[in-house]
Each structure stands twice: as C-alpha cells, then as structure tokens.
Amino acid sequence: MCGIAGIATIDGLDPDSLLLDRLAAALAHRGPDGQGRYLQNGVGLIQVRLAIIDLEGGRQPLHEPRGAVLVGNGEIYNYKELAADLPDVAFATASDCEPPLHLWRRAGSGFAQRLRGMYALAIFDPLTKRLTLSRDPFGIKPLYYAETAKGFVFASEAQALVAAGLVEARENQKARDELLQLQFTTGAETIFAGIWRLLPGETLVVDKGRIVERHRLEALPVGGTASNSHDGFLYELDGVLAESVSFHQRSDVPYGMFLSGGIDSSALLALMARLNERPVLAFTAHFPGSSARDERSHAARVAKELKAERIDVPFTEADFWQLLPAVAAAMDDPAADYACLPTFKLAQEARKHVKVILSGEGGDELFAGYGRYRQAMRPWPLTRKMRRHGTFDGLGVLRTDPSFWRQGIASAEREQAVPGRTRLQAAQAVDCADWLPNDLLTKLDRCLMAHGVEGRVPFLDPLVAAFAFRLPDAMKVHKGLGKWALRRWLDKVLPVAGAFDKKRGFTVPVGDWIAEKGQALGPLMAAQPSIQVLCRPHEVENLFRHASRQGFAAWTLLFYALWHGRHMLGQRHQGDVFDCLDAMRCSS
C-alpha cells in the first residue's frame, strides 16, 4: 500500500524535480516507510511506500530488463501464482508488484485481466515513450489524473495535484450538488474541476502527454444466474470465501480486522480464525453516552467463541468536534458518510498494533444486503428507483434546488440494466459502479491511509464476485431478508453470531451531537462564505436549531463547509470544529 504520482510532458522534456518533491510531500502520509522516483525520458514518477510485502527488497520503482519501470499502490494477491507462470523470468525482488510488470511486457495493456487484487499501477516504457495506468475493477485503490497544458499528471489523491500546483482548486458545481444530495459523487468527474478519476477497471495509455487508448475490465460477471442445489451453493460459498481471505492475509507484517455487530464482519472473523493459528486481533467502535446501537456485546460474543482478541475503540461527542476537521481534510474526494468518523479513529488505534486491516466492505453489494434491493425487485409498476430523494429536497435551505443531481445515478442505472440481468442484479451493479468505489471504498482508503494503515476487503475479490453476483435472487433475498446465502452459511459455521437476528443499520449519532450545539453552530455555519453562496442563512440557522429532526442535512452542510475550507480555500484546519469555522469566517 502506497501513494503514487507522476507527470508525462507533452514536449518530451523532463519535468521539474521540484514538482515531484511537492507530489511526494502531499502523499507522504500514504507511505511513511520510504520514497522512490524515476525522472528521465520526459516522465517523472514517484512512490511513497508503506512496506507490507518484501520489506527490504520491494522498493519502487521496479524495473524489467528492457527498461520499463513500475510504481504501484495496492496489493496483487496472486503474485506468487503469476510468478510461477513466468518460469523464464529472473525476478529481482519478492514484491507482489514485480510479476505484473513482467506480465505487462508480454500482454501489453491487457495485462490487468490476470491480476487479482487491489491496485493502481503506473508503467512507463522508455522504448515507446508510453505511460500505462491501470486501476482494479472494483476501484478499491484510487487514481486521479488531469490533462494540462504541460502534460498528463496523475496521483493517488486529487489533493496532491492541487498541492503540487499542477491543477487549480476550482469546484465542479455538478459534483458539488451530487455531494449535497447523494453524500457522494458519481462517474469519472470529481468535485475538482479538471481532475478526473480513473474509473474502476480502467486502463489508460498516454503518449506525448495525452491519452491515446482506453480499456475497461468489468468487476461483475456477464450472463444470467447460476444453477446449483441449496447445499451446493453453501459448499461453494465456503470455498470461495476461505480462498479469498487466505489470499488477503498474505503479508509480511501483522494484520487485524474491524469487527462490528453485522453479518459481514462476523463472517470475516470466522474465516480468519479458521485460517490463523494465532488469535485474530479485532477492533470494535462504540459510542458511549449516546443513543447509537452498542455493538460491543455482539462483537464480544463472537470474539469469545472464536478465541479472538478484541480492542474496544470509543468514539465520543468530544471526538466528533475534535476529529471532524482532520477527517474532512483526509477526505479530499469527499463523501459525506458519517461512518468515516469511527473509521478514522479505528485506524488511529489500529496503527498502534498492526499495519494491515481486513474489513467487510462489499458484502452488502455482492450478497444483496440493502433494503432498497427489495424495492428494486418489485414488478413494474411497483418498482422504485434507488435514491429517489435528495438530502435537501423540500427543506427550503438551498437557494436553488439542484436540478441535475440524479443524472449520474440515472446514467449508471441505464448502463447496468443489461440483457440477462435480473432487476436485483441491475440494482447491485448500480451500487458497485458508484456508491461502492466513490463512497465506501474512498472512506476506507482515506481514513486508513491517513494513519499509514492498509485496508483490505476480501468480499471484493474476482472469484467471490463471480460466485455471489450470479446467485439466484432467492439465495440473496428470501422472506424479506437480504444476504440470505451468507446468513445461511454463517448460521452453519458460527451459530453464536445470530445470523437471522433482527439487525439495525449502523448509525453514528451525529444528529444528536449537532443538535446539542445547534444554537451556537447555526450562526457560525450561516456566516461561512461557502454556505452563503448555496443556502439561505436564516434557513441554515433554523436547520441547525432543529438538527435533531434534520440531522443528516445538518451533518452534510457541516462536513461540506469544513471540506471546502480545506480543499478549495487551502486553509489548514487547526483546533476543533468551532475553531475552524470561526477562522474561516474571519478570513473571508
């Protein structure tokens, strides 16, 4: 796990080394274990390294005999198998990223079809002067780029391109409206005008500072549902999950996992306990003194049964006010997902013990855990669109109601409604296209990498996806319960987990915390320049005065104001939320 960045000039002259210094400085939190760079042939590449595999020999850039170089972020879990399939190669390292470099030399831009992992890779060939970028199919690892007057630039985080002075910090209003209404943004455009995401599964080829080729590797299988007996499905599920977790545990440093009260993390711990001789280290968040569901009793019961070691991580109201500015700073590609708050503190605590965390992201999308999937399964005309309503609809807070905030989701709905898919599969595919990479996985990447911790997601594995997505609908949603197959499997292997118990969704009591200080917070928020442009000040004060009823809208505005101050105005957050808001108001 690392951070990467680079520049490919149009005129073929080597980029200024100071620009590489700035990129490396902006990404330093992603790679505290060292830096490497390449600067010649009109291209500059940097990598900041978090050493996980081949601690001594895996430094980057990596080279192959004909001169091509690679910098990468992520993990290639099948690197041993790839190396075994290249018996004529004399490998210089035991790094997981070296086999992809040699594979690229043989397969060209189609090399990613054989990779199993999470990755954002950049390969430069001095023979052709071409640069190849590739991102994993689920978009677990981020990569951003811009085409500028001087050339093509890219980085693991959008903020690095701004910090290096390569792209001006200008707001994309369409993406801003999506953020406010959806809590995340969709597609290739980012909230930074002129900065684009490399799409999940996309490979780009750059020549003379401009994109000349694009390829796309899909995360989800094509074709209809699979056929098998009920017991046959559960037997196959056990096999693919165990293999994925085994691959995701390949590491030369200690690892642990995040354990909540949900199905996904319980299943993950059950598999890790089976595959490890030593007790698994699990971290559980809780919210003392609040109305939020306390998941510690469930986590303790599961951990005791599996002989796991568990660390409770409290997230308090004081943490909310103190840590939120740092969280907004870390979330440069913003997602107003309040789960980023406990994730940030969990990572902070985990870094004291491990460098790698396994987490259950992707289980709901692949095994159909969300209630909205049941709505999508209804026959026409009872079928409902997902995310029909925006956060600020009907509140009268915004000066102008955003008209086009749903275009990105609508586009994904059209693209994913392919022949042969059921309505449920189409809904799952829509979530995998945008919600998963641009909210859940962005949150996990930024919050963990802010503390130099690698996050791994075993559910988002090609073999797991190929199996889970093609399960019959009745094995996903049955008797009003989602994730039916995963529940049946978990009930069999770990009865104490209560796979069929009634579950409540994960919540963070941000509305309660904001409401307690709403009288003081409202005027501060109404005075923020970024909020005044968008909102009616009186209605903003009213919103925060009644945040107990409209907590998510208030949270979204608060997150946005802090995010805007840091990433659009370039203000360094110091102190708590009130200190930051007061400083931004006074400096306007």
Reported as a single tens digit per residue, the pLDDT across 483-533 is 999 999 999 999 999 999 876 667 899 999 999 999 999 999 999 999 999
What pLDDT score was predicted for residue 293?
Answer: 87
- For residue 399, what pLDDT is reported? 95
Helical ranges in 306-438 per DSSP H: 317-330, 340-350, 363-367, 371-376, 407-416, 423-430
DSSP strand pairing (356-358 vs 454-456): parallel
Answer yes or no: is pLDDT of 386 > 80.
no
CA distance 45 to 519: 50
pTM for this prediction:
0.96
Angle, CA 438 vertex, CA 333 and CA 141 arms, to 5°: 85
Nearest to 448 by CA among 577, 286, 260, 257: 257
pLDDT in tens, 295-320: 999 999 999 999 999 999 999 999 99
pLDDT-derived band at 1, boundaries 50, 70, 90: low
Average pLDDT over residues 14-33: 97
pLDDT digits (tens, 9 = 90+) for 406-418: 999 999 999 998 9
The answer, yes or no, to whether the previous bond of 61 is cis (omega within 30 of 0) is yes
Q: How much is the pLDDT for 434?
A: 95
Taking the C-alpha atoms of 462, 464, 467 and 470 in order, what is their torsion angle to the nearest 10 degrees? -80
pLDDT surpassing 70 at residue 382: no
Rg of the chain taking only CA atoms, in angstroms: 23
CATH code of domain 2-216? 3.60.20.10
Residue 455 contacts residue 443 (beta carbons within 8 Å) = no
Residue 208, pLDDT > 80, answer yes
Residue-by-residue DSSP string for 62-75: EE-TTS-EEEEEEE
The owner of tokens 């791994």 is 456
Torsion angle of the four alpha carbons 201, 29, 39, 64, in this order, in degrees rounded to the nearest 10: -50
Write down the pLDDT at residue 587: 65
Active site residues: 2
| Average pLDDT of every residue of the chain | 94
At residue 186's C-alpha, the angle toward residues 181 and 187, to 5°, is 160
pLDDT band at 588 (very low <50, low <70, confident <90, very high): low
> Residue 385: what pLDDT?
63
Please state which of the four CATH numbers 1.10.630.10, 3.40.50.1400, 3.40.50.620, 3.40.50.2300 is assigned to the domain occupying 230-497.
3.40.50.620
Amino acid 441: pLDDT = 98
Q: What is the pLDDT of residues 102-145, one digit of tens each?
A: 999 999 989 999 999 999 999 999 999 999 999 999 999 999 99
Q: Distance (Å, rounded) from C-alpha 265 to C-alpha 433?
A: 23
Domain ranges in the chain are 2-216, 230-497, 510-587
pLDDT band at 573; cut points 50, 70, 90:
confident
Q: Report how many helices (DSSP H) and strands (DSSP E) the chain contains, helices first.
A: 23, 17
What is the per-residue pLDDT for 478? Answer: 92
What is the C-alpha end-to-end distance of the chain, expressed in Å?
38
Distances (CA, A) of 149 to 7, 153, 157, 208: 12, 10, 20, 12
Cis check: omega of the bond before 402, within 30 degrees of 0: no
